[in-house]
Structures are given as structure tokens and as C-alpha cells.
A and B are shown apart, each in its own frame.
Chain A
Amino acid sequence: MTSTDLIRLTAAELADSLAAGDVSSVDATRAHLDRIDGVDGDIHAFLHVARDAALARAGEIDRIRASEDGSSLGPLAGVPLAIKDVLCTLDMPSTAGSRILEGWIPPYDATVVRKIRDAHLVPLGKTNMDEFAMGSSTEHSAYGPTRNPWDLDRIPGGSGGGSAAAVSAFEAPLALGSDTGGSIRQPAAVTGSVGMKPTYGGVSRYGAIALASSLDQVGPVSRTVLDSALLHDVIGGHDPRDSTSIPDTWPSMADAARAGQREGALKGMRVGVVKQLTGDGFQSGVTQRFTEALAVLESAGAEVVEISAPNFEYAIAAYYLILPAEASSNLAKFDSVRFGLRVNPPGGGTVEQVMSATRDAGFGPEVKRRIILGTYALSAGYYDAYYGSAQKVRTLIQRDFDNAFGRVDVLATPSAPTTAFRLGEKLDDPLAMYLNDLTTIPANLAGVPGIGLPIGLAPEDGLPVGIQFMAPARSDARLYTVGAALEQLLEESWGGSLLSRAPELATATVGGR
């Protein structure tokens, strides 16, 4: 197989080839590292590429496979993946896209990172993101923006633009992301890739640099629904180091995805379309592709009904109080004492002045904005009106979900109101930027799972459009079934994956670094 073929395989296909001995992990890993060398100068999906470590690890895994222990290797053994820089890694810097953590190498691995190492996946490097996951465009990274492989002048979504761009530019078959208000699903939508936000507590948050503790969830990013399911099976499950981790056992997500690929998987499935998350404010091409996707579901035997979730109207407002409040506290630890940047004011100063100067220099404008907003929302005299009220709205949104799931199996919305916008377009208008997560935020507030997958290109700009499905808490498997079913129907109609239609990227000469 040529290296071009290798990078175009899905993770599931690559895993099969590795298991069959048709290809080595070293070759697969090198093919992806070469691709990164070739295109990442333009894309900038990676903040750190661990070339030598990745090849060494791939070699080890090849040796294990060749030995008598080979049969014990897991389904994704030898498959390379990219890791969002929000996750702590023992052997790579972990900056969360912030200047304040530049070069910081944690003395421990996040639980999900330990799990992917134990499952013999090969970490390629760390992916770019909006600083501390605050943003929907990856333009708020302290290390420069990531570009959308479909159009280099456009944003790849955010905050996980690096992970989404890495998989959609064929730099990695899989990536880890994190989703606080849409940071996995919205980038998936605008890059034509797949991403899943699991049920809150379904995947450990230990070692994920916290943005908003009650909203954050780590999840898989990939090019196919089955690939996300395979990665979900590796990273999911109870972690005693995360108190909010759900102690249940989970069904196989990969089995659920494969079930979706079988004939008749959608028969009788009740799909609710959230009235409040369609129509006005959605780009016409987004609405068009969304409507067509619903028709595909119906033609496959699903029943599509309209659902009203009246309190979703307040979701963004509640989110932009809860998130900054929790973030203002979570980000207090960046104080120049134990790790990260230290900036001494001219002529020295007290520790208080050093902390303040460091936090001024180390945080970007969006982070400061949200910290100040969150500090305000928690302040004496404002708590009840802001944070307290937002938590009550959360109850209302949960009730809307409960009502909806009393009537339907899954909810469907467009993943994002628009296709990828141009770099810089919304950078100076925080409120406009916040609206990008209109459809994804309710799932985080209620803790329910949500999956995003591509449903075509908007006719007006030729850019990817995504659909989001949501299910009741703990019913993640159902989303893989529905997602895989729709994906299969669409790919049949397209004659291939959506990403196979993405423009070829110019590749730099591989220097063999």
C-alpha cells in the first residue's frame, strides 16, 4: 500500500490491515507523519508533533504483534491518533492553546491518554485549539489559527479545530477532542468530519484541563461514525479519579455502529426535530441539507416529528453564565507559582503583582473576557440573578429534554447554524461568535450525548454541513446506530465519503525531518 492509500483508510480499515499483517504500524505512522510534514504548514492543526516517539511506539507495537502476545492487542492497536492539547500528556507539552502554559509538560497522563496508550494506539502529537477551549473558530489559540482543509481562508470550527482539521486533512485517522458547548460537534460540522460528545460522565475528565467542570466532556473525533465508536470504546468507562464519572458498564459503541450499518436499522426509529433549533438564523444551504437528511431518514423507515423545547431559547444565556463562572475559578490556578509562565513586573513586585502581571500577559482577550464575566456572575450580590438563575434554567432545559425523549428516540438539529465562516469574520464580535454553538449547547447543559456527522455541502458555498443527533443520557450507543445508518445511506447516494470530495491540499516537499 502506498502512503497515500494508508492515510485515506478509515481507522477501522487500517486496524484490519494492521491485524492482518498487511501493513505495519511503523509504515502507517510514518505515512501520517509525512502527511503532517506535507500539509500542516498550511493547516496548522498541530501544536506539537512527536515524530520520534510515535515511530518508536509504533515499532514497539509491531514487535508485540509479531510476538506471542500479539493476539492480546486491542482493536485499534497500532493506529495513530492526534490528541487535543487540552489533555495532559507525560511526554508532550500540554498548553491548552494558551501562552500561560507554553512548554509545560505535565508529570502525569490524563486518564483517556493512559487508556489510548494501554490500547496501543500511537500518539502523533497535540492539536491546536482555542485558548482553554474558549471559542468556536480556533482563532483564539495563542499559537495562531488552524485553517479549514476545505478552504484555507476559513475557520475549522472550535475549540477543537485542530483535531477536526487533522482528521479531515488526513493527518490522522482519529483524534481526541473535548466538548463544553460544541467544541467537538461544531468543528466536525464545518470540516465534514464526525465527532461525538458522550453523556456527561461517560468519559473521564481526569487530566483534561478544565474549562467548565459541569459541562466538559472528552470524546472521539474521526472521519466515520464507526471510527468514533471504536475510539469511544477505548476511552469510555468509569474512572475513580473523576467523581462525576458514571459507574455503569457500557455497551459496545462499535457494535452499535455496526448495527446501524445493517438493513432496516432505522425502521420505527422516532426522530424529533427541535422546532426552536431550525428555521430563522440558519443558513439556507444548512437548512436545505438538513431537510434532505430528514427525508433520507424517513425513507429508511424512521418517523420524523416536530418537538418543541421552549426553554432552549435560554440555553445560550445560561451557558454564558455557567461556563464563565466555573472557568473563572478553574483558571485561578494559573498563577505563576507551580507551573507555567511567570512575568515579573518592571522592578519586581509582590507575589500578588507578579500573579496579576502574569495573568495579564499569559491570557488572551477572550479568556480575560470570560474570567471577568464569570467573576461578575459569582460576585456577592449578583450570584442569585446570574449564576443561580442560570442553574435553574438548566433544570428547565433538562425538563424539555425529558419531555422530548418521552416522545422520540433521538432529537435532530443542524450541527451549526452556518458553514465555515472566514477567518477574522467574527473575531471582534463575541456575541456573534457565541451564536455558533446555538444547537450544541443544550446537550452540554443537560449532560445528554450528541453526535455530529456530515450530510452534504451547502449549495451556495460548497462547504460541509453537519447534522447533530441527541439521545437521552446514557444512550450513547443509540446515536452510533442512527449516525452509522444515515452515514451509510448518504455515502451510498454520494458514491463515497464526503471528505473524498474535499479539495486536494498542496503538499510541501517532504524534507524527511
Chain B
Amino acid sequence: MAAPKLMDFDRALELFEPVLGFEVHVELNTKTKMFSDAPNFFGGEPNTNVTPVDLGLPGSLPVVNEQAVRYSISLGLALGCSIAESSRFARKNYFYPDLAKNYQISQHDEPIAYRGSVDVELPDGRTVTVPIERAHMEEDAGKLTHVGGSTGRIQGAEYSLVDYNRAGVPLVEIVTDIIYGAEKDAPELAKAYVSTIRDIVIALGISDAKMERGNLRCDANISLSPRGSGILGTRTETKNVNSLRSVERAIRYEIQRQAAILDAGGTITQETRHWHEDTGRTSAGRPKSDADDYRYFPEPDLLPVQPSTELIEELRQALPEAPALRRRRLREAWGFTELEFRDVVNSGLLNELDATVAAGASPQAARKWWTGEIARLANVAGVDSASLVSAEQVAQLIELIEAGTLTDRLARQVLEGVIAGEGSPAEVVDSRGLAVVSDDGALIAAIDEALAAQPDVLAKIRDGKVQAAGAVIGAVMKAMRGSADAARVRELVLERANSAPE
């Protein structure tokens, strides 16, 4: 596949106005699935977390998970939505092998939550209000693995295998209204929006919200409207965008791709497009067609959901603070400068920092590690920082540094080990033998040896030329393979030089 032509981003913005829309799927972390009492967990052996309902066996019937309904209402409220007096499930009919019944139980014209908005903060500190059209409940599909062919992708595969462990996992789909006026900030807005949704669901405790695991999935709709035309362009829907940075990149890419096509007199096909993390491109998926006649109708096996005002009020009272308020509170509590704090927010690391501080680390140390080394490693690997290490692990690492067990340099090696799955920081310190040598005996032996080997240096130190100690310190650190605290070595070198016999 030849690389498609792209237009320079700034040029594209001169010619076109980007128009956005997002569908974010949030997997709820209930104990059981949306419509069956199978565990809501889809690792493990294929086709083991399934009941007749999840396999769509003849005769099986769905029953709604009450907790999923409560979570959905809470999410709706947090998105500023109205909660429907009466909402209903509907069947969305289409054939696909990962869809056990060949219809998805979703909601159609009567979603649980509708008409809300969320405030999203851009990197420059501006706040944009994103309008929410609706949030509705539905079930996830199973997982397909394509076998054969060269790529392991659907194209050219010889056959596919289906695991229905994920089938029936509860989802809430959040659909925005059309978003105008994002302009050159469109990519950043996209990222900030998804990040805000993530913050909200984490604060609510209703989802693990790990994008790399698909707990949170963003489908990004984008079209370009020629400046001054007032005409809405044809949109594409980019799927499979599974990290915050990819959301930003995918939007930027689609703007540049669509602009190049339109500028050359071409037309945009209404289609789904797949985001490829490796190449940083999107590729064409299924075109929208007549086949997209989903024949929605009210799910006859399920009954209307009519939450009482008491329940809605109960859930409203239990809502966590809004992300904007929370940010203000945390900034003050941590004593960060405006710049330091925005750096954290823009890196999408607020929750990680909060959790790390909660686990005992100092705010500044937590900030230093998350926005520094961890962010660097995440960037190299092309993943989100949070997928590399947990807040607890980072807090442990910081504790080891502060206790003098690790130098910053050693700590970076320990971090590497933790990321490689070698265990907790303490375990990595043990297994890699990385602790600062605090037993002065070994150090003194090394120092005495080094001093004996460099009598001229010894003499200089004794003459009060303290800078000369550097050569000995270097030799000692080398001998200790870095596992010594340089400051302590320096202290001891001076001590030994002055006390050793003539």
C-alpha cells in the first residue's frame, strides 16, 4: 500500500474547517456481564467465561445487570446528561461471526442518558465544552483471531477463530454531538476529550479505563468543510484508536489525508477506517452501504428501564467531584507551578500522579518520574505511560531512592526491570543486585586499593588538593560497578587518605 498523499497541516486548516464527532465505548468493571451471570473477565482460556446467553444458544435469554444500569446512570449524570424516565433496549441486526446472536443488544431511540456536555481543557489551558448527544448501554462482541496469510490481519487470512469470552461485557457508548470550531486544536481536543472521559470513569470507579486493553475505545468521526462553503463534508470513522496519543495522531492524519484528496478534486468515501499504530496511518475498512440496514426494533426479551427519581438522586449525590474542580484542588495540594501542573495534565498523567502520591510518594518526585523517565520510555515504546508501571510501583521506587537504597541512575535500571515484568522494585533490586552498597567495608577495601595504586593522588589529597580525589572516586565507582553512592565514596576517600599510614 503506497503512502497516501498528505497535505501540510497548517495549509489544510487554511482551506478547510475540521468537524469532529466521537463515539467512546467504556467497558464497565461490573462483576458479571451485561445480560448474563458469566464473570466479566476475558483473559484466560478461550470460551470459558461463557453461559448459553453469551454464546447465543437457542432458547437462551438475556437479563439486565442491575449494577451496569446504576453505573450507566452515574456516567450519564457525570456527563451532565438527563436520565431518561423510560429507556429501552433494542436489537441491532447484522451478521458477523463475533456477534453470537447476529444482533447486538443495544439502545436505539430511547437511550438511558441524553443531552449533556463535558468541559475539556486544551494544552494551552483553554476550556472547550463538548456537547454530548447520548450515552447508551450495550454489550460487547467476542474476539476474532485471523489465521493464515502473511499479516495475521483480516485481509488474506485463511480462516478465523472466535472466542466469546468478551461477548456480553457491559459497555456504555458515549456519543458526542457534532463538534464545530475545534480548528487547529482538533487533534489536541480529541486527545483531551478522551482523556477527560477516562478521568471521569476512573473517578466514578466504573471502568478500568485502560485504553491499551480496550477498556476504553474511541471511534473518531471527522470531516472537512471547505472554508466559506457552509457545506458539511463526507465523514470517515476511524476505529481501533487505542491510546491517547493515537487519538491525537489519527485526527491529525485524517485531516491531512482528507485535505489532500479534496484539494486534488477527489471525494471522500464514507467508510470506517482503521488506525495503524505502527505506520501512523489509517486504512480503508468497510464502506457504508445499503447493508447497514440494522433493522432496529425494541428487544422483546427485555423490559423498559425506568429509574426512580430516588435512585437518580442517590447516584447524583454519590458523584465524585468534576474533573475541573479536582484539578484545582490537586494543584493546590501539590504546590505545583501552573507550568508543572499543565505538563502533568497534558501528559494525561493526572490520575497516575494522584495515585502515586496517595501511595506515599512526594508530589514532586512523582511528577519527576512520571513526566520524565517513564514518559520517555512510553514514547519510545509508543504506548501510554500508565500501561508500563503502576502507581504503587512508582511510589515504591521513589521510597527506595529516598531511603538511599537507590541512586537515580540505579532507579532507572530498576524501572527497566519492573517494566520488563521482573517484579516489584524491591524484587528487581534484589534479583539484579542493584542496591547502593551501604556496607562501608567493601567500599573501604576498594578505596584503599585505589589509593595504593595511585600514590601520587594520595599525596595530593594529603596536601589538601581535594579535587584530585576525583580520579580515585572514579576508580572506586568503576570497581563497584556503579552500585555505590558517589557522595559516600567521596567522604570515605578523604577520610582514608588522611588516616592511612604514611
Q: Report A-B touching, CB under 8 Å.
A: yes
Q: Is B62 interfacial (CB 8 A cutoff)?
A: yes
Residues of B within 8 A of A334 (CB): 58
The reply to whether B55 and A329 form a contact with Cβ atoms under 8 Å apart is no
Among B263-271, B300-308, B316-324, B347-355, the stretch that binds chain A is B300-308
Instruction: State how many angstroms separate the Cβ of B402 from the closest Cβ of chain A.
Output: 54
Proximity bits, B173-199, A CB within 8 Å = 1, else 0: 000000000000000000000000000
B30, CB-defined interface residue at 8 Å: no
Contact residues of A: prevailing secondary structure: loop
The answer to the question of B103 belonging to the interface, with a C-beta cut-off of 8 Å to chain A, is yes
Closest beta carbon of chain B to A509's beta carbon, Å: 38
* A contact residues, range: 35 or more
- Shortest distance between the CB of A408 and any CB in chain B (Å): 30
Q: Which residues of A contact B160 (CB under 8 A)?
A: 351
B162 within 8 A of A: yes
Question: Among A207, A329, A378, which residue has its beta carbon within 8 angstroms of that of B59?
Answer: A207
Q: What are 26 A-B interface contacts by the 8 Å CB criterion?
A: A88-B57, A88-B58, A94-B59, A101-B58, A107-B57, A108-B59, A205-B59, A205-B61, A206-B61, A209-B58, A240-B63, A243-B62, A243-B64, A244-B303, A329-B93, A329-B295, A332-B101, A333-B58, A335-B95, A338-B55, A338-B56, A339-B58, A378-B296, A378-B297, A379-B295, A380-B293
- Quick check: is B127 within 8 A (CB to CB) of the other chain? no
Contact flags A211-241 to B (C-beta < 8 A → 1, else 0) = 0111000000000000000000000000011
A335/B102 in contact, CB under 8 A: yes
Across-interface contacts of B58 in A (CB, < 8 A): 88, 94, 96, 101, 104, 106, 209-210, 333-334, 339
Q: Is B379 in contact with chain A by the CB < 8 A criterion? A: no
Residue A292 interfacial (CB < 8 Å):
no
The minimal Cβ–Cβ distance linking A6 to chain B, given in whole angstroms, is 32
Interface residues of A (CB under 8 A from B): 87-88, 94, 96, 101, 104, 106-108, 110, 205-210, 212-214, 240-244, 325-326, 328-329, 332-335, 337-339, 351-352, 355, 375, 378-380, 383, 387
Digitize B66-81: 1 where CB-to-A-CB distance is under 8 Å, 0 elsewhere. Answer: 0000000000000000
Contact B61 A378, beta carbon cutoff 8 Å = no
B300–A206 CB distance below 8 A: no
**Is B454 positioned at the interface, with any CB of A under 8 Å from its CB?**
no
- B residues neighboring A (CB under 8 Å): 52, 55-64, 91, 93, 95, 97, 100-103, 160, 162, 164, 293, 295-297, 300-303
The answer to whether A244 and B301 have CB atoms under 8 Å apart is: yes
Count of A-B contacts judged by CB separation below 8 Å: 102
Q: Return the contact of B52 from the options A107, A205, A244, A352 (Cβ within 8 A).
A: A107
Nearest neighbor of A96 in chain B, beta-carbon distance: B58
> Which residues of chain A have C-beta atoms less than 8 A from B301's C-beta?
210, 213, 243-244
Q: With contacts A106-B57, A214-B300, A378-B93 known, is A333 near B100, CB below 8 A?
A: yes
Bound complex: CA A254 to CA B57 (Å): 34
Docked Cα-Cα span, A347 to B93, in Å, equals: 29
Question: B102's contact among A107, A332, A378, A387, by CB below 8 Å, is which?
Answer: A332
Residue of B nearest to A374 (CB): B295
How far, in Å, is A411 (CB) from chain B's closest CB? 25
- Chain A residues with CB below 8 A from B164, complex form: 338
| Cα–Cα, bound, A355→B64 (Å) | 29
Q: How far is the CA of A500 from the CA of B58 in the complex (A)?
A: 38
Whether A242 and B52, one on each chain, are in contact in the complex, defined by CB atoms closer than 8 angstroms, is: no
Q: For the complex, what is the distance from the CA of A307 to the CA of B63, rounded to whole Å?
A: 39
Nearest B residue to A322 by beta-carbon distance?
A: B300
Given A213-B301, A351-B97, A352-B95, are A333 and B59 also a contact pair (CB < 8 Å)? no
Smallest CB-CB separation from B52: which chain A residue?
A108
